[in-house]
């Protein structure tokens, strides 16, 4: 496989770690484009149309937003469907991890004593910018929606059950699935915080499983600039995926639409709807710096509206 895969990310991003590890597991050579942890990101917006969550995966002139559809894009790119082998149950566990478990770990890492370790590395100006960015990102939905004590209790309850269930190398089999990567990146997020890392210590089976996951590494990665990624998009032709079509309420294939996350970061992205399935929504867009691109979103967790 040629190294025409670009990941737009920043190192502490937990959802980025999910995809970095997946790239290592799948053996995909990739180019690392490091973005800022806060807006603005003027050289990324032409590719995404305004989508502001992290990470974004670019394969030529096809741009994947949200790790659920990034996974689908990588599976299509490699032809390796092993991540989906356990089927519906594994995908739903991944969905739980990316929502419920994610919110629990955010509550842990945003406790005053835990976030203090992170904020102490920033200047007062950087702290203010970070807080303003996250307030804009969350909008009406608070980023921390679980009280600290409830978060600790829930986390321990999940880890007890997870530790008891790990009778194989991975969650469902002797090879990892989408569920493994989704659960792992949340626990990685906790492990990266010096105040919270000790919460993982009582769970030996979980620790062994995390070590097996971490051993995949990030694979064959080289650095790239945002300008290089834009130039690559401009010289590439987007490829419409072959999807099992699904009818969407209120819109038709070929119509102008907007796609907006339903949880937070509710920035609508406008384009022409070219494909839709139970897993994926694809818009064709055009931007001067990137040329014609196709921007991909998951079906679940996004609202498609007539443009």
Q: Are 15 and 102 part of one and the same domain?
A: no
Cα–Cα distances (Å) from 299 to 96, 227, 228, in that order, read: 16, 30, 30
Question: Distance between CA atoms of 298 and 282, rounded to whole angstroms?
Answer: 9
Structure tokens at 143: 């980023």
84 strand-pairing partners: none
* pLDDT, position 76: 95
In-domain check, residue 212: no
The residue written with tokens 């709807």 in the block is 273
Task: For residue 281, count CB atoms less than 10 angstroms from its CB and return exposed for 0-12, middle for 13-18, buried for 19 or more.
Answer: buried
Please name the residue that has the structure tokens 């590494």: 217
Number of independent structural domains in the chain: 2
CB-count burial class (<10 Å; 0-12, 13-18, 19+) for 87: exposed
Tokens found for residue 78: 């490699």
Kindly state whether residues 187 and 254 are assigned to the same domain: no
Whether 117 and 186 share a structural domain: yes
Could you tell me if 297 and 192 lie in one domain? Answer: no
What is the rounded CA–CA span in Å between residue 95 and residue 97?
5
Q: What is the pTM of this model?
A: 0.94
Does 141 share its domain with 101?
yes
Domain that holds residue 123: 85-203
> Under a CB-based contact definition with an 8 Å cutoff, are residues 290 and 234 in contact?
yes
Examine residue 215 and state whether it is found in any structural domain, yes or no: no
Instruction: Please check whether residue 193 lies inside any domain of the structure.
Output: yes
Quick one: the chain helix, strand, coil %, rounded to 5? 45, 20, 40
Q: 281 - beta bridge partners?
A: 276, 297
In a domain, 188, yes or no: yes
- Quick one: 44 and 193 in the same domain? no
pLDDT of residue 144: 73
CA distance 74 to 26: 8
| Domain stop point among 203, 233, 268 | 203
- Is the domain of 290 the same as that of 196? no
- The parts of the chain modelled with pLDDT lower than 70 are 1-3, 117-131, 133-135, 138, 140-143
Distance CA 119, CA 112 (A): 10
Q: What is the pLDDT of residue 116?
A: 77
- Give the integer Cα–Cα distance in Å for 244 and 299: 13
Q: How far apart are the C-alpha atoms of 137 and 70, rounded to whole Å? A: 21
CA 63 to chain centre: 13
Do 36 and 123 fall within a single domain? no
Neighbours of 235 (CB within 10 A): 10
Whether residue 131 is found in the same domain as residue 233: no
Q: Are 282 and 276 in contact (CB under 8 A)?
A: yes
Question: Do residue 98 and residue 13 come from a single domain?
Answer: no
How far is Cα 146 from Cα 295, in angstroms, rounded to an integer? 33
Is 214 part of any domain?
no
For residue 133, which phi and psi values (nearest 5 degrees)? -65, -45
Spacing of C-alpha 38 from chain mean position: 16
DSSP for 40-62 reads --TTTHHHHTT--SS-EEEETTE
pLDDT at 3: 58
User: What is the CB neighbour count within 10 angstroms for residue 247?
Assistant: 8
Domain boundary among 147, 170, 203: 203
In a domain? residue 208: no
Please indicate, yes or no, whether residues 29 and 77 belong to a single structural domain of this protein.
yes
Tell whether 34 and 75 lie within a shared domain: yes
Give the neighbor-by-neighbor strand order of the sheet with 302-306.
221-223, 30-34, 5-9, 56-59, 62-65, 291-298, 280-287, 269-276, 256-261, 302-306
């Amino acid at each position: 496989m040629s190294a025409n895969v670009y990941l737009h990310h920043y190192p502490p991003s937990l959802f980025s770690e999910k995809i970095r590890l997946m790239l290592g597991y799948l053996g995909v050579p990739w180019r690392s484009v490091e973005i800022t942890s806060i807006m603005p990101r003027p050289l990324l917006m032409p590719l995404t149309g305004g989508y502001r969550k992290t990470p974004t995966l670019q394969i030529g002139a096809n741009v994947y937003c949200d790790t659920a559809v990034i996974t689908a894009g990588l599976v299509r790119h490699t032809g390796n469907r092993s991540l989906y082998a356990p089927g519906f149950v594994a995908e739903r566990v991944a969905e739980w991890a990316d929502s419920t478990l994610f919110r629990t770990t955010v509550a842990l890492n945003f406790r005053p004593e835990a976030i203090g370790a992170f904020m102490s590395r920033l200047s007062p100006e950087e702290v203010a910018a970070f807080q303003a960015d996250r307030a804009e990102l969350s909008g009406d939905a608070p980023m921390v929606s679980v009280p600290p004590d409830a978060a600790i209790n829930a986390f321990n309850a999940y880890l007890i059950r997870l530790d008891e269930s790990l009778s194989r190398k991975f969650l469902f089999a002797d090879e990892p699935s989408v569920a493994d990567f989704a659960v792992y990146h949340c626990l990685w997020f906790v492990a990266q915080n010096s105040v919270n890392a000790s919460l993982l210590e009582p769970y030996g089976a979980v620790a062994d499983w995390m070590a097996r996951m971490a051993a995949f590494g990030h694979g064959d990665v080289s650095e790239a600039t945002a300008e290089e990624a834009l130039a690559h998009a401009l010289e590439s032709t987007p490829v419409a995926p072959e999807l099992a079509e699904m009818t969407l309420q209120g819109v038709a294939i070929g119509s102008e639409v907007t796609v907006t996350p339903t949880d937070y970061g509710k920035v609508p992205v406008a384009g022409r709807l070219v494909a839709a399935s139970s897993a994926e929504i694809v818009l064709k867009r055009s931007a001067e710096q990137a040329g014609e691109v196709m921007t991909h979103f998951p079906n679940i967790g996004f609202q498609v509206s007539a443009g």
